Structure 1
Amino acid sequence: MLGKGTEMNLITIFTPTYNRAYCLNKCYESMKRQTCQDFDWLIIDDGSSDGTEQLVHQWMKESHGFNIRYVYKENGGMHTAYNTAYEMIETELSMNVDSDDYLTDTAVDEILTFWSQNKREDVGGIYALDQYGDGQIVGCPFPDDLKEFHGWGYKTIYYENNGKKKCHHNKGDKKFIGVTKAIKQYPPIPVFEGEKYHSLYYKQHLIERDYTILIFNRPVCAVEYMDDGSSKNMYYQYVRNPKGFCDERKFVMQYAPSRKLRIEAAIHYVAESLLTGNKHFITDSTNKTATICAAPLGVLLYLWIRKKTKE
């Protein structure tokens, strides 16, 4: 590990990277442009062999107002890089920015200002917005009256306003800013031998279940879905990492607040269980009723995944 200490700053921006030296500079340049540079940039190199280490070492010699920390680890997938980051982060807040993404120029300033105005002991995190490079919001923004929620934030958010219960169906990725002491209360994201993918929402689900989540309805990160990224290769991820996906679906089946979400998870659970060769997936399910109901569609999804990954 290289870099200075983290005592003075409130937030760590962490970036897992694997052979992204060709585009990581865009992320770095956005760090340099921050109107507030009271942050740490923690780079978790997940086994790169493309000169990423030399590139980062050069940046560390340059003059800038923020602190760069660099850690190299054996390749294990992005979720293992998250686990490494969470072990190392000591600042009050933390936020992931992928290696092919970059911060908006005022992101750190706005996040820290928002936190100083809204900090509470029962808060475990903040959701802000992502945008594309042209400024268009990814998916949709949050409703103006949604200021916070507690319990569940995956696709469907239930909240109250003026005594009325409301529901927001979220579309598109959002940026999670975690309260570090809350993040560290939970076990690492599960790792399965031979697999290099697990949902990165694992700890977020747990935090949403146990803490209040604040809404900062502003974009703080510009995203780009690249051809070598996991979002572009999801069908292959299903085939290569079915145990990790099954683990995530079991959580959603158990805790999701709506039947629709539980059935959707069950369909994927059946398909991914078949990919693992698990004949006891009904017995192993956290929601046997949903799994039985979803079994026919799960078989069809399994066949579809097989077809798509053979093309």
Structure 2
Amino acid sequence: MKSITVFTPTYNRAYCLPILYESLLRQTDRDFEWLVIDDGSQDTTRELMQGWISDAKIDIKYHYKENGGMHTGHNAAYSLIETELNVCVDSDDFLPDNGIELMLSRWRKDGSDKYGGMIGLDEAVSGGIIGTQFPEGLKECTYGELGPRYGVFCDKKLVYRTEVVKRYDPYPVFPDERFVPLYFPYLVDADYKLLCYNDVFCIVDYQQDGSTVNIYAQYFRHPKGFSYSRKIEMRYIPFVKIKFKSAIHYVATSIISKNWNFLAESPKKIYTFLAIPFGIAAYFFLRMKRSKPKKLALPNPGS
């Protein structure tokens, strides 16, 4: 069995998957398999994958499912992965040539059951590290500590022990919604720390059809998914400022979904009660902004 699974949730991305595939062919360490979770693509993704599987240049597994959104792709991946480690590489991203080698060499040197995994850096396809690097001397932390405690912001690449992520319940599925923000890092935070490295694990490129575009409209398309994620943040993030910010978002998205029982359902009722006027203001702000597309990186705690 290979040591690490690179898993890629994808939907109608046949046009950019070859870049990721070519980067996997260039890896200096081949101790990995590639798991592609096709979320109901209607383009040529299936034919593309079948061709690469037939070429047998790297180990590939292809799983097709009905369209359910990125979070359901993660659910499917975690149910299928068998390797010790796993890392999600989006269909519009790719690995540096030594990406797998860096991940595995770091883990073999420092990893143990004490840790849930490790965190590395993302680099922009145009060059330059995305966000800030880890402070010198920082060896371990939780994901939720990055911004508020260490001043480390923007996306980072998370590599998890598969045994760890399989312990948690899958992301929920809400009728007529296709998005739940990925909150698994906060669940892992409650049980483990992560090793931190100033190594580039992934090279990223945000596509105009991706989940990081027009975030304001997404609040209105998937309010229950956002509300659920904010409840997880309130429950598990230890920082007061972040809890309150999550409570504000929770109130706003509860209004959008017309869930008037939000206070009773909140895991942090005092925070939520105090956040109500700010949440109402946030709701009107989101209504105003949703028609103005804005490209954003997924939020990092404290940002």
Give TM class, smaller chain. over 0.9
Whole-Å Cα distance in 2 between the matches of residues 186 and 132 of structure 1?
A: 31
Q: 2:229 aligns with which of 248, 265, 273?
A: 248
Whole-Å Cα distance in 1 between the matches of residues 143 and 34 of structure 2?
A: 27
> Offset of 1:308 from its aligned partner?
2.1
Q: 1:230 to 1:155 in 2, by over 3 A?
A: farther
Q: 2:166 aligns with which of 172, 175, 184?
A: 184
Whole-Å Cα distance in 2 between the matches of residues 292 and 111 of structure 1?
A: 44
> Offset of 1:157 from its aligned partner?
5.9
Whole-Å Cα distance in 2 between the matches of residues 117 and 176 of structure 1?
A: 17
Provide the identity percentage: 44
> Offset of 1:236 from its aligned partner?
1.7
Whole-Å Cα distance in 2 between the matches of residues 24 and 255 of structure 1?
A: 35
- Contact kept? 2:147, 2:153, Cα under 8 Å: no
Structure 2 counterparts to residues 1-311 of structure 1, below 5 A: 7=1, 9-64=2-57, 66-149=58-141, 152-154=142-144, 156=146, 167-200=149-182, 202-310=183-291
What amino acid maps onto 2:99 in structure 1? Answer: A
What amino acid maps onto 1:134 in structure 2? Answer: S
> Offset of 1:310 from its aligned partner?
4.1
Q: TM-score, with normalisation over the residues of structure 1?
A: 0.90
Gaps of 5+ in 1: 1-6, 159-166
Whole-Å Cα distance in 1 between the matches of residues 155 and 145 of structure 2?
A: 10
Whole-Å Cα distance in 2 between the matches of residues 310 and 60 of structure 1?
A: 42
- Contact kept? 2:187, 2:236, Cα under 8 Å: no
> Offset of 1:248 from its aligned partner?
1.0
Whole-Å Cα distance in 2 between the matches of residues 233 and 99 of structure 1?
A: 19
> Offset of 1:121 from its aligned partner?
1.3
> Offset of 1:154 from its aligned partner?
2.5
Q: 1:192 to 1:207 in 2, by over 3 A?
A: same
- Contact kept? 1:148, 1:212, Cα under 8 Å: yes
> Offset of 1:288 from its aligned partner?
1.6
- Contact kept? 1:263, 1:291, Cα under 8 Å: yes
- Which of structures 1 and 2 has the larger relative contact order (alpha carbons within 8 angstroms, sep 6+)? 2
Q: Secondary structure at the residue paired with 1:232? A: coil
Whole-Å Cα distance in 1 between the matches of residues 72 and 251 of structure 2?
A: 25
Whole-Å Cα distance in 1 between the matches of residues 36 and 42 of structure 2?
A: 15
Whole-Å Cα distance in 2 between the matches of residues 291 and 63 of structure 1?
A: 53
Gaps of 5+ in 2: 293-303
Greater strand content: 1
Whole-Å Cα distance in 2 between the matches of residues 224 and 265 of structure 1?
A: 27
> Offset of 1:119 from its aligned partner?
1.9
> Offset of 1:225 from its aligned partner?
1.1
Whole-Å Cα distance in 2 between the matches of residues 34 and 72 of structure 1?
A: 25
**Which residue in the other structure is 2:297 paired with?**
none
> Offset of 1:214 from its aligned partner?
0.8
Q: Number of residue pairs matched?
A: 292
